[in-house]
Amino acid sequence: MTPLLRRALSTLVVGVLLSGCSADVVVGRASPGPGEPVDVSAEEFPITGVGDEPIDQFARNALADLDTFWASAYPEFYGEEYVPLEGGYFSVDSEAVDEDAYPETGIGCEGSPTSPDSVAGNAFYDPACDLIAYDRDLLEELAGEYGRFLVPVVMAHEFGHAMQGRFGFSGRGIQDETQADCLAGAWTGWVAAGEATHVSIRTPELDDVVRGFLLLRDDVGSDPDDTQAHGSYFDRVSAFYEGFDGGVGPCRDDFGEDRLFTAAAFTDDQEYASQGNAEFDLILEWVGITLPEFWSEVFPTAFGTDFEPPTVEGFQGTAPDCAGLDDRDLGYCPSNSTVYIDVTDLASPAYEEIGDFALATAMALPYSLAVRDQAGLSIDDGAATRSAVCLTGWYEAQWYDNAFVDVVGGSISPGDVDEAVQFLLTYGVDDQVFPNLDASGFELVGAFRTGFLEGGDACELKR
C-alpha cells in the first residue's frame, strides 16, 4: 500500500467491485474420472519433433483431450462447427534442437516459416499457421516446480488462443490472455469432473496450478495496457477460476472492454523502489484503523445493531491461553473479544516474504470471525472459515476502490491483491492459521475472490 501525498475525495464503499504467451478456486472437490487415464498413441495424435521423454506423452495426452473437449464445446457455445488445428503441434528440445526433425518451414508453415529454436523457453499458439508449439524443457521445469498438471493447463491456455482465432480476439492483450486462462479453467473443470480420457487431476494439484500462475503473471507494476500484458496474479487466477466454476459460458461473455483488472503500473520511482510496500508499523496502523471503520459502517445495515470492534493484539511466539486460539499463530478469542497474531512466527515472515497486504490479510481473517461472532454465527467450522476468507475479500475490495483514502491517507498499490492470494496459498492452508481445515488453498482463494467481486451477501452471513 502507498502513502498519499495528496488527499482525494472518497467515501467508504459498502457495495462491491469488479468483477501469455506461455502458459487463475472453487467450492467442492475435484477428483479424477473413473479408471486410469490411457495414453494416446503417436499415430492417433501426431506431434512433429516429439521425443521419447514422458513430458511429451503428457503434453500429447492433454492436447488430445483438449481436442475432444472443444469438438463438443465449440459448437455448443459458439454455434459453429469445430475446426481442428490445421497446422498441427510441434515439440522442441531447446537444449538440443534437431533441425532434421522438422520440415523446411520449421515449426511454422509455408506462408510463415519459423525456426525451431525460436520456441526456447516458451509455448505459444501461432495464428498465422494455426498451430501450437512448445519447448519441452520448459514443460519439464514447470512440472518439477509446480506439479504435473500445470503442463496441461499451459496446453489448455494455448488451445484457448486457438479457439479465439476462430471466434475472434478482443484485440487487447490482457483481455485475450485472461480469457485464454478462463477457457483453460473450463477445460480443467471438465477434466476434474472425470470426463477426460487421457489426463486426470487430483484435488491437491489445483493448489499447485494456482501457485504456478505466480510464475506466469506480469511483473508487478508493469503496464496493463501493453499489448503483451497477461494480467496480475489475481487477474489470471480469477479468470481461471471463472472458467473452472462456470464453464465456457462466462469465458465467452465476461471478457469485454468493461472488464476490470487489478493489474496496474507503478506511478512513481518511490513506489517502484518500495514495490508498493508500506512500512511494517504503518500497515499495522492502517489496518487497525480501517477494519473497525469498515465494519462499523456495514454491520448495522446487515444486522440491525452496532458493531463493537474487537481488540487486536500481537504476541511473540507463545500464544495467550484462550479456548478459541489453541496456541495457533493467528485467531480470534471470543471470551475476551480479541484478535491475536503471532508477530514472530507469522506477521513478520509474511510481511518479509510476501508484502504488506499479506499482513493486512492475516489481520482481516480472524477479524472477520469476530464479525461473525457478533452476528451470532459460527466461528469454528468450515462454513466459518470460508465465510471469513470471503469477508476478507470484501474488506480488501474497499482498499482496491480507494475507500480508505480519507481515513488513513493511503491507497492500494500494484501487486497488493496478489499478496492476499499468496498469503492464502502459503499460510492459509497451515493448521497454525486455520485448524482442521476442510478446504484446499484453491478453495480458499475462490472464497476470497467471491467476496472481492460479489461482496458480503455472498459470504454466508445468514443466521
Is the residue at 310 inside a domain? Answer: yes
Residues 218 and 147 in one domain: yes
For the chain, helix (H) and strand (E) counts, in that order, are 15, 8
287-324 residue pLDDT tens: 999 999 999 999 999 889 999 999 999 999 898 998 77
Is the residue at 314 inside a domain? Answer: yes
318-339 residue pLDDT tens: 989 987 788 899 999 999 999 9
Calculate the dihedral angle through the C-alpha atoms of 376, 379, 385, 387, rounding to the nearest 10 degrees: 10
Is the residue at 93 inside a domain? Answer: yes
Domain count, the chain: 2
Which residue range is the domain that position 161 belongs to?
Answer: 54-253
123-147 residue pLDDT tens: 999 999 999 999 999 999 999 988 8
What proportion of the chain, given as a percentage, has pLDDT over 90?
67
Going by pLDDT thresholds of 50, 70 and 90, the confidence category of residue 14 is very low
Is the residue at 441 inside a domain? Answer: yes
Residues 222 and 327 in one domain: no
> Does 326 or 97 have the greater pLDDT score?
97
Is the residue at 36 inside a domain? Answer: no
Residue where a domain terminates, one of 253, 286, 306: 253
Residues 11 and 58 in one domain: no
51-92 residue pLDDT tens: 989 999 999 999 999 999 999 999 999 999 999 999 999 999
Give the three-class secondary structure for 213: helix
Helices of type H across 265-355: 269-274, 280-303, 348-353
Is the residue at 45 inside a domain? Answer: no
What proportion of the chain, given as a percentage, has pLDDT over 70?
88
Neighbours of 147 (CB within 10 A): 20
Residues 230 and 303 in one domain: no
**Confidence at residue 414, expressed as pLDDT on a 0 to 100 scale:** 83
Tell me: pLDDT of 222 over 90: no
Going by pLDDT thresholds of 50, 70 and 90, the confidence category of residue 345 is very high
Residues 382 and 246 in one domain: no
Q: Residue 138 and residue 303: Cα distance in Å, rounded?
A: 53
Residues 240 and 286 in one domain: no
Residues 281 and 419 in one domain: yes
CB 119 within 8 A of CB 90: yes
Residue where a domain terminates, one of 188, 219, 253: 253
Tell me: pLDDT of 213 over 70: yes
**Looking at residues 101-106, what average pLDDT do you find?**
96
Among 205, 197, 124, residue whose Cα is nearest residue 157 = 124
Residue where a domain terminates, one of 253, 288, 304: 253
> Does 19 or 103 have the greater pLDDT score?
103
Is the residue at 261 inside a domain? Answer: no
Residues 10 and 58 in one domain: no
Residues 59 and 203 in one domain: yes
Residues 137 and 240 in one domain: yes
Tell me: pLDDT of 217 over 90: no
Residues 233 and 349 in one domain: no
Is the residue at 448 inside a domain? Answer: yes
- The chain-wide mean pLDDT, for the chain, equals 87
Residues 239 and 281 in one domain: no
Query: How buried is 297 (Cβ within 10 angstroms: 0-12 exposed, 13-18 middle, 19+ buried)?
Result: middle
Neighbours of 134 (CB within 10 A): 28
